[in-house]
Amino acid sequence: MAPTGDNVVVSNMNLERMLSMKGGKGDASYANNSQAQAQHALSMLHLLEETLDGVQLNSPEVPFGVVDLGCSSGSNTIFIVDVIIKHMIKRYEALGYEAPEFSAFFSDLPSNDFNTLFQLLPPLANNGGSMEECLAANGHRSYFAAGVPGSFHRRLFPARSIDVFYSAFSLHWLSQVPEIVLDKRSKAYNKGGVFIHGANESTAKAYKQQFQTDLAGFLRSRSQEMKRGGSMFLLCLGRTSSVDPTDQGGAGLLFGTHFQDAWDDLVQEGLITSEKRDNFNIPVYAPSLQDFKEVVEADGSFAINKLEVFRGGSPLVVNCPDDAAEVGRALANSCRAVSGVLVDAHIGDRLGEELFSRVERRAMSHAKELLEKLQFFHIVASLSLA
């Protein structure tokens, strides 16, 4: 049984220790509920490849380092790392250069299910042969792999050791819920709410400041770890409105409607107190382009090669859109895959089951609306050292 103490998400240390996408291979696991993320990433492969075309080719005697920050535990990260390395090998070959050895670092918080991830890794190709032979070896990988546990808001790698940083669907996660959001004495106290969507202006400001503080730490760390001539490709939830941060777009529909209502159900049914609900907030912020750009420019370490908002599509992947039960189950599983660990830590496994069953029922009754309106937008950033 998960711990059920109050305010588990307030402490930065606690959140860092427990935050993860839902591990394993069950129905509500991230591994089985990240098809939408895969589709969204696929639609932006051409932008990733543009970034890779700008990476400097170094001596074959120096290993080429690739990092996925916030890798989680599904097959998406393995696919993307493979794309990156194969693209770089082709660049070396096109110029008649010998390709270096490649190292891929899969990084996430210590609570990430690295075991499930590593079980998905294909075996290493015979590294006694050439890189071409590695590529031709069907079902094998042409790189050395390692897991790196830790927060990407701090240093994770030696100085000037990494050629390519990649991060997708992770930077919108905050290092902590802003403490004033959970402080009853503060104007930013998010009473009655479990997410920023629809909150007051002070709450929104606190979330924005936390996001920008976190992004500044992220950029500061990467600026020291990246090799000269390296590049970084970042993809995170974003919003089209630069005016109202309480309108969190698709993230608002995921966490601010049926999810919020399900918490209210538990309160009204006497299963939890209103205070217990109010002590829980989802540590997610979907920034605007301006929110993002302000931090990059203030840091000054990186040149912006591309910074745009792209329509990513729906997070719901269903076989039969007319089946309301399937839509409801898809929303509940998607929500649980990314927030279930925090929910269970706050109210326990049994009440977590109750909560997500209510999310599923509410989503079933709004299935058509969800399929029409639940759309994610993503900020895509390609950065290189200034």
67: part of which helix (H) or strand (E)? strand 64-69
For residues 33-56, average pLDDT: 79
One-letter amino acid at 104 equals A
One-letter amino acid at 11 equals S
| 8 Å CB contact between 20 and 116 | no
**What is the percent of the chain with per-residue pLDDT over 90, rounded to a whole number?**
46
Q: Which of 386, 338, 385, 377 is nearest to 359 (CA)?
A: 338
Q: Which of 343, 257, 298 is nearest to 20 (CA)?
A: 343
Q: Give me the residue spans of the domains in the chain.
A: 12-385
Burial (0-12, 13-18, 19+ Cβ within 10 Å), 300? exposed
User: What is the CB neighbour count within 10 angstroms for residue 225?
Assistant: 18
| 8 Å CB contact between 204 and 136 | no
Lowest mean pLDDT among 28-37, 59-68, 166-175: 28-37
- Please report the pLDDT score of residue 342 as a whole number: 87
pLDDT in tens, 334-350: 888 888 888 888 888 89
Tell me which long-range contacts 86-94 makes (C-beta under 8 A, separation of at least 24): 86/135, 86/142, 87/49, 87/52, 88/52, 88/55, 88/57, 88/64, 88/163, 88/164, 89/131, 89/135, 89/142, 91/52, 91/53, 91/55, 91/57, 92/57, 92/60, 93/132
Query: Does the pLDDT value for residue 129 go beyond 70?
Result: no
For residues 347-373, average pLDDT: 87
**What is the percent of the chain with per-residue pLDDT over 70, rounded to a whole number?**
85
User: What is the value of pTM for the model shown?
Assistant: 0.86
| 8 Å CB contact between 382 and 306 | yes
pLDDT in tens, 142-162: 899 999 999 999 999 999 999
Per CATH, which fold does 12-385 belong to?
A: Rossmann fold (3.40.50)
pLDDT in tens, 81-99: 999 999 999 999 999 999 9
Mean pLDDT of the chain: 84
